[in-house]
């Protein structure tokens, strides 16, 4: 059996300036013709739990496409943080019907409203005692979008990890689905003619602003991303970033700020919530 | 006297889900098929309005709302639905605004 060793980079981080290298590793895992892959973690100097989750998601996607992932007992890195992450259990919420086994992963079916409710209730741990209903809607939109568009015909679903920062009383979230990506989904079903020569960045920003019809091509669809955008603009969540296909976008000073990256086939979202978000929502006209 | 009403949290779920039944439990499609369409038809037959109680749930997503209240308007006629559904809520005024503006296209 031919095996391929994939060495993970020193800085295995899904953020710039390391993002392109991270995506290259994912592509290497996905495109290799070998039926055994050995992941070499030994040189990692920095990574987060969420980066490991994205790696798991890629491994699952690769396995779904009939390739075999062979995991030898990993050589753990010497650096303390990645060593701890790889050694310990992490809290990952995962919605999947596949049989990817890991102690650190929980698996549920499709749009699991019990899990959405559980994630919202966890906000009590940072002092948000009332039920943050806008966040429930935010999560339903995100998961619904992933399930309906990204991964509809595949047995791969969404992954979410959250981590409390006790110093700032904030919860940081990373959510990923390994579907085609938002731009990829639109291209797959055919964009309106005026978008034929339009950049990927413009396609994504128009999807968020509600200017682009849904990739389902049904007239009443395509409202999920604009609703998410409304929540982002109104500070229901903070530090929102999305990476999908060749575009990374975040919201800063009332503007969508975009940058280019290597093609990430899937959709990655990160955001954070603290008590200020809830207070703003409670006092807002939207509520 | 409200002759026809639906208390979503009591009769359907406290945790509404996404658009279609195939994507998970408590979807907008399930709500439409199990409760909303029939209750609306019953109300209309007797010239009554249908009262929808929204409170007591986690919240609602746009897909759920479109596949239930949007579908009702597409099937029964937008004006008939707008004139005969009454939302009752203390916590979800923003959801009512969303249904009226984005789902039903009211100005």
DSSP line for A80-134: HHHHHHHHS---EEEE-SS----TTEEEE-SS-HHHHHHHHHGGGGGT--S--HH
What CATH number labels A91-287?
Answer: 3.30.565.10
Work out the average pLDDT over A230-245: 94
**Beta carbons of A141 and B25 less than 8 Å apart:** no
Query: Quick one: pLDDT at residue A156?
Result: 64
- Residue A116: CB partners within 8 Å, gap ≥ 6? A136, A139, A140, A143, B15, B58
Average pLDDT, chain B: 95
pLDDT at residue A85, as a whole number: 81
Give the residue on A whose Cα is nearest the Cα of B96: A287
* pLDDT tens string A90-128: 445 555 434 334 433 444 447 889 989 999 999 999 999
The whole-number pLDDT of residue A155 equals 63
Q: Are strands A92-95 and A158-165 parallel, antiparallel or unpaired?
A: antiparallel
Quick: pLDDT tens for A200-218. 999 999 988 888 765 555 5
Whether the per-residue pLDDT at A250 is higher than 80: the answer is yes
pLDDT at A223 over 60: yes
- The model carries a pTM of 0.90
Between A156 and B84, whose confidence is greater? B84
Q: In angstroms, rounded to a whole number, what is the distance separating the alpha carbons of residues B52 and A104?
A: 42
Q: Does B77 touch chain A (CB under 8 A)?
A: no
Would you state the pLDDT for residue A102?
A: 43
Question: Is A223–B64 a contact, with Cβ atoms under 8 angstroms apart?
Answer: no
Residue A1, pLDDT score: 59
Question: Can you give the residue ranges of every domain in chain A?
Answer: 1-88, 91-287
Q: What would the pLDDT profile of A9-68 be if each residue is shown by its tens digit?
A: 999 999 999 999 999 999 998 888 777 777 888 899 999 989 988 988 888 777 766 566
- What is the model's pLDDT at position A88? 62
* A249 burial via Cβ count (<10 Å: 0-12, 13-18, 19+): middle
* pLDDT score at A240: 96
User: Which residues in A lie closer than 8 A to residue B63 (C-beta atoms)?
Assistant: 140-141, 144, 148, 223-224
Look at residue A98 in the predicted model and tell me its pLDDT: 40
In which domain, by residue range, is B83 found?
4-103
**DSSP 3-state assignment of B25?**
coil
Partners of A120 on chain B (C-beta within 8 Å) are: 58
Q: What is the CATH number of domain A1-88?
A: 3.30.750
Q: What is the pLDDT of residue A100?
A: 38
- Count of domains for chain B: 1
Q: How many CB atoms lie within 10 A of CB B90?
A: 7
Residues of A at the B interface (Cβ-Cβ below 8 Å)? 109-114, 116-117, 120, 131, 133-134, 136-137, 140-141, 143-144, 147-148, 220-221, 223-224, 227, 286-287
- The answer to whether the beta carbons of residues A202 and A247 sit under 8 Å apart is no
Which pLDDT score is estimated for A245? 95
Which two tokens mark A12? 């295995």
Q: What's the rounded mean pLDDT across residues A227-237?
A: 93
């Amino acid at each position: 059996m031919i095996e391929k060793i994939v060495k993970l980079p020193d800085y295995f981080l899904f953020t710039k300036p390391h993002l392109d290298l991270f995506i290259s590793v994912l592509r290497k895992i996905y495109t290799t013709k070998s039926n055994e892959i050995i992941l070499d973690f030994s040189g990692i100097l920095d990574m987060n739990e969420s980066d490991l989750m994205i790696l798991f998601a890629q491994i699952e996607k690769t396995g779904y496409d009939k390739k075999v992932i062979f995991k030898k007992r990993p050589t753990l890195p010497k650096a303390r943080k990645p060593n701890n992450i790889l050694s310990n259990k992490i809290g990952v919420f995962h919605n999947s019907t596949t049989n990817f086994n890991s102690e650190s992963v929980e698996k549920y079916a499709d749009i699991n409203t019990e899990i959405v409710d559980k994630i919202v209730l966890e906000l009590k741990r940072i002092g948000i005692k009332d039920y943050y209903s806008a966040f429930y809607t935010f999560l339903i939109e995100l998961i619904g979008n992933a399930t309906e568009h990204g991964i509809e015909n595949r047995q791969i679903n969404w992954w979410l990890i959250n981590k409390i920062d006790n110093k700032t009383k904030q919860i940081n979230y990373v959510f990923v689905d390994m579907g085609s990506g938002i731009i990829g989904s639109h291209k797959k079903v055919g964009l309106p003619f005026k978008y034929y020569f339009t950049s990927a960045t413009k396609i994504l920003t128009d999807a968020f602003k509600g200017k682009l019809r849904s990739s389902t091509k049904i007239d009443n669809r395509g409202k999920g991303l604009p609703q998410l955008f409304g929540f982002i603009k109104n500070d229901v969540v903070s530090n929102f970033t999305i990476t999908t296909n060749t575009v990374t976008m975040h919201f800063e000073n009332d503007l969508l700020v975009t940058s280019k990256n290597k093609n990430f086939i899937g959709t990655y979202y990160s955001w954070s919530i603290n008590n200020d978000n809830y207070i703003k929502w409670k006092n807002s006209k939207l509520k | 006297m409200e002759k026809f009403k639906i208390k979503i949290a009591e009769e359907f779920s406290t945790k509404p889900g996404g658009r279609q039944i195939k994507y998970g439990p408590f979807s907008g499609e399930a709500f439409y098929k199990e409760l909303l369409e029939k209750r609306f038809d019953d109300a209309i037959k007797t010239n009554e309005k249908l009262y929808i109680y929204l409170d007591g749930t986690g919240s609602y997503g746009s897909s759920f709302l479109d596949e239930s209240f949007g579908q009702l308007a597409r099937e029964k006629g937008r004006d008939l639905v707008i004139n005969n559904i009454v939302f009752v809520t203390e916590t979800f005024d923003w959801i009512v605004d969303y249904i009226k503006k984005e789902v039903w296209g009211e100005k």
